Structure formats: structure tokens, C-alpha cells
Structure 1
Amino acid sequence: MMNNFKKFLKNKPLIVLIATSVAIALLNPRFLSWSNILTVLRQTSINAVIATGMTFAILIGGIDLSVGSVLGLCGAIAATMVSSGTNVVLAVLTVLVLGTAIGYLNGTLITTGGLQPFIATLGTVTLLRGAILVFTQGRPISTGNTPSSEYFSEIGTGFLGPIPVPVYIMILVFIVAYYILNHTRIGRYIYATGSNEEATMYSGIKTARVKRFVYAVSGMMAALAGILLTARLGSAQPTAGAGYELDAIAAVVLGGTSMAGGIGTIGGTAIGALIIGVLNNALNLMKVSSYYQDVAKGIVILIAVLLDRKQKSSR
């Protein structure tokens, strides 16, 4: 019993989540209503999915700034395909493959091209943002009123029992990511690459392949998030995904993953995403201006990075 309590006290992200939730519930009793809890989970699902891919990237000591732009482009393509009557399964698979390919391209630029992750993915951001504006002509793309669009909308707005579909998708993503990182060879290679890439290379592990795999996963998760967002809104906006990379990074770092790589868990990322979701929901309930919400999230990111740096120094 005492050991479990000590483990709980060491889980700082979970303590922050509980403390934040209790404080918000005291300030606004509506926070704990079932409908609001489902709203928080549904809204969190998109950032949580992106943050899962970002966790893979940060674990190897990298970063992926392109996830928001991948989300926007993939969402626009999904909306176009669905509105034209394309089979939903085909549309979803096409978009997931596209996101994976973009992520793989990022990994190739970093490994074969020798670019730093920040520079490579920053370049991809600019390229994809331009591609989104060209593709959409700067206008929203509706998913339409075809039979395909009705099925597609269920991905973002549907329920299985009392729980929204996006929540099930988020949980499934966490389970698969947890299994990969903790029970597969590639998972061990990811942690090893982030801890000491040079030593990992000397041990015979092809770290370039590991990195390409990681960025491919990040791209796929961004594409999946684009599907969820487009299905929920019923349209793809040309500005969709802008700034989403910051929320994803914040969720990962708040969850205890080190920006230096090699340390972190998917469970921590899940908690970090919930902290961001709870904070956003609380500010909305208190009718705080969106401008101040950005300020609050910026402060949270800075605090998280400073804590990460302090923990790194102590180690």
C-alpha cells in the first residue's frame, strides 16, 4: 500500500492533472458534469493522437513541427474524396498512407539529407501550408451530403454506447503505441537511439531506419487527427492544424518525456494531453478570451520545458 502511494507521488503529471481538475471543479461545478467530461475527452482526442506521434519523435531526440500542416492537408484531401462520393474506407486509407509518406519523407531528409529535425520539418511546414492553400484555393471544403459523408461524419461525431467514437480511437492509438514502445524490438531501438545514438549505431542497430519509422508514425498520427477533425466539423478549413504542433509538444513534455530523448512514456503523454484538454475546457467554461488562452498555454509550455531541463540537470 505504501509503495503504491510512493509511486503515485512520483507521478507528477498525474498529480498535476488531479489537482488542476479539482481546482476547476471547485471554481465551476459544471466541469464535472458527464456531458462536459465527454466534451473534454472528445476535444482532447485530436491532440492526443498527434501527441502520440510526437512522443515517438521526441523519444529519439527529434521533433516534428509539420504535424499541424499534415493534419490540414490530409483533412482537405479527405473532405474532397468524401464529398465526391468516394468510399469512406478508401478515403481514410488514402489519407493515412499520404500522412505516412510525408512523415517518411521527413525522416529521409533528416537521415539521408543530414538535416536537423527542426530544420527539415520546418521546411515541410512551409511547403505543406502552401500546398493546402493551392489545393483549397483558400476556401473551406465541405464533406458534402453524400452517403459517404454521413458515414464519414460518424468518425468525428458518432457514439458507441455512451462514449464518442473519437475517444475509442484515442484509446486504441494509445494501446498500440504502448505495445510498440514496450513490447517490440523497434520500441527498444527507439529508446536506445534517443539515449545514445552513437552507441546504438556501434551496436549494429540501423538508427536511420529507426528514425524514418518514427517520423512515418508521426505523419500517420497527424493524418488520423486530420480525419477526426474534418469528420467532426463536416468541412476542412485552409487554416486547419495551425499551431497544433505546439499543443502536441506541450502534452508530450508535460507527460514527462525528455526533450533530450530516451526518456518518456505513452501513459505520460496521455496525461499531458488531458492536462491541456482540461485547461482549454476550463478557460472556455470561464469565458476567457482565446487570446488569453494562448498566453496560458504558452506559460504551461515554458514551465514544462524548464522542469524538463531541471530534471535533466539533476540526472
Structure 2
Amino acid sequence: MLGVFVSLWIIFIASAPNTFLSPQIYSAFMSSIPFFAIMAIPLTIVVVAKEMDLSFPSIMAMGMVAFSFTYDGTAFIGNTTIRVFLAIIAALLAGSIIGWINGIIIVKFGIPSLVVTIGTQFFWRGAVLVLTSGTNFPIEYIKDTIFYPILVGKIGGYFPMQMVWLVVITIIGWVMLNRHRFGAHIYLIGDNINSAELMGVNTGRTRIQAFMLVGLISAFAGVLYSFYVAYFWPSLGSGYLLNTLASVFLGGTSVFGGIGTILGTFLGAFIIGAIEAATVAIGLTGFWTQLIYGFIIVLSVIMHTYLRKRGE
């Protein structure tokens, strides 16, 4: 994957040297890519387990609804920093609970995760619209707390903190998938769930935990993005579905489960971000990016299908 990454980057530089040889573009990458790349990390774990979660965009928004309600409901405290801290905890808790609900429905009722999470994606988006009456609102008050520089500030005035959080979550995800029993169980489940059960793996609990991770990190991504723009709108996250999925599949994760790496997804996210920049730099409209993302996802599925049949 690293070789592919380097090769593609050389192509990007050759196709748009004024863009990809400029330091500003890399600063922009580090500011914008983490918002969807962060969600691609736990999503990789879910896909390796031969499952799918399409509800993460709505979880981003629902987490911020929990944030807003908690902040407004703790006005009696008076201290803005404490209120924001409690609101962040509420957002993360809401995301985890939604992930747990997804996992419970999938595991206990035996319904395909693709179907369940399409349904919950619409359900939670609807809940966001109902609870907020479809209105946008600023959250400028977060700039007066210590959490603003910790989450989306800049180190030395250049290096964005959201990039630091992406690196931290990537490292944690890599350790979980490659150096922890949880990761070993995920690979076993993705390869053959029946064999995993015969080996004593609690496949239900492990899959539920994987969906909870997606919920937790998606809510965190929602907090990060909302802090970055100091604003909330009910459509938060809706534009991140395709590029998050494309990052996972471009990174080498198989839709058939059992195959995938965190590092591959990390690099895939930056390739996806670069594709968008390159598309605009060579004179095409931004509408082309969705076509390209869709092509990447379809091509990835075709390639993994071919390799799977060849291996058989």
C-alpha cells in the first residue's frame, strides 16, 4: 500500500505541480482530512469483521445534538468549561449507545448490518431534524474553553490538532487490530465466523464492541468538526459517507471480511483527500469527486471478488 501511495503522489505532483508542491495544500490536508479519516479507522475494524456500518454520518450529528442539549441543560453550573466538558462526554456516550444499539439489532436479530445501518442512518438523521427543528446554531462559546485549542487548535500556529488526534486514533486502532486479542478475534470472525465460535470467540460481543467503536469515534469526529467551524447544522456528516467508505476500500480492506489494515486506511484517506484537490487543480468541477469515489469503491469490490475467486 505504501508503494501505491508514493506512486499516486508522484502522479498528483506531475499532474498539478503548482498545487502539490505548495506547503499550503498539505496544511489544508491536515486540517480537513482527519474529520473523515478518523471515522474510517473504526469502520475498517467493522468491515474486517465482515460487517458494514453506514450510520456514522448521522451519529456525527446526533452526538452534537446530545452535546447541545447537555450544554443547555447545565446552565445552572455557570462555568462554561465544565459545561462543555460534560457536553463532550454526553456526545461520546450518545455515539457509543447508538453503536451499541446497531450491534444489538444486528447480533440478536440476525439482520444484515448493511440493512440495519441504512435504517438507523435515516432514523437518527430524522431524530436530529426533529430535535433541532432543522435549525442551525453557532457554538462560539467553545472558543473560550481549554477544549478548543486541545481539539482543533494549531501547534506552533501551523500543525492542526485534529491531525494529532487522527494519528493517535490510528495508532490505537493499529494496536487494537494487530497487537490485541480483540483484533485477533475480529480477523477470525471476518475470515470464518463459525470457526471463530468453535475456537471459543464470543462473536456477538466482539461485533457489538466494533459497532460501539464506530459510534464513539463518529461522535468524536462530529465534535471535532463542529468545534473547528464553531457551528452546528443538522446535515452534519452527510457529506462524509462516500469518502470515508472509499478510504477504507482504497486502503485494501476487503468487503468480504478477514482482510484489512489500519495503515492502509490511513494512507487511503490521504489519497482520497488528494484526489479531490487534484480534480479541482486540473480544471474539473468538484462534482467529479463523487464519481471518482464511487468508481474506487466499485473497483475495490471487483478486485477483491476476483482475488477471492482466484484464491479458491
- Same fold per TM (> 0.5)? yes
2:188 pairs with 1:192: yes
Which of residues 17, 21, 37 is equivalent to 1:32?
21
In the TM superposition, what are the counterparts of 1:192-271 in structure 2 within 5 Å?
192-271=188-267
Query: Is the Cα contact below 8 Å between 1:254 and 1:272 reproduced in 2?
Result: yes
2:126 pairs with 1:130: yes
Bigger mean CA offset, 88-97 vs 56-65: 88-97
Query: Is the Cα contact below 8 Å between 1:256 and 1:265 reproduced in 2?
Result: yes
Q: CA deviation at 1:76?
A: 3.6
Query: Is the Cα contact below 8 Å between 1:80 and 1:143 reproduced in 2?
Result: no
Equivalent residue of 2:109, what SS? Answer: coil
Q: CA deviation at 1:246?
A: 2.4
2:34 pairs with 1:45: yes
The whole-number CA distance in structure 1 between the counterparts of 2:5 and 2:233 is 31
The whole-number CA distance in structure 2 between the counterparts of 1:116 and 1:281 is 35
2:11 pairs with 1:23: yes
2:90 pairs with 1:94: yes
Q: CA deviation at 1:128?
A: 0.3
List gaps (5 residues or longer) in structure 1: 1-12
Q: CA deviation at 1:82?
A: 5.2
2:155 pairs with 1:160: yes
Q: CA deviation at 1:16?
A: 3.1
Q: CA deviation at 1:289?
A: 2.2
Query: Is the Cα contact below 8 Å between 2:276 and 2:286 reproduced in 1?
Result: no
Q: CA deviation at 1:89?
A: 2.4
The whole-number CA distance in structure 1 between the counterparts of 2:202 and 2:119 is 25
Report Cα offsets for 1:15-46 as digits up to 9, x if no partner.
Answer: 33223222222233232322210211221111
Query: Is the Cα contact below 8 Å between 1:107 and 1:213 reproduced in 2?
Result: yes
Task: Name the residue aligned to 2:289.
Answer: 293
Bigger mean CA offset, 218-227 vs 80-89: 80-89
Which of residues 106, 110, 117 is equivalent to 1:110?
106
- Number of residue pairs matched by the alignment: 302
The whole-number CA distance in structure 2 between the counterparts of 1:32 and 1:270 is 21
Query: Residue type of the partner of 1:41?
Result: M
Task: Name the residue aligned to 1:279.
Answer: 275
TM-score by length of 2: 0.90
Q: CA deviation at 1:286?
A: 4.1
Q: CA deviation at 1:130?
A: 0.5
Query: Is the Cα contact below 8 Å between 1:107 and 1:211 reproduced in 2?
Result: yes
Instruction: Report the RMSD for the aligned CA atoms in angstroms.
Output: 1.9
Task: Name the residue aligned to 2:308.
Answer: 312
TM-score by length of 1: 0.89
Query: Residue type of the partner of 2:63?
Result: C
Query: Residue type of the partner of 1:299?
Result: F
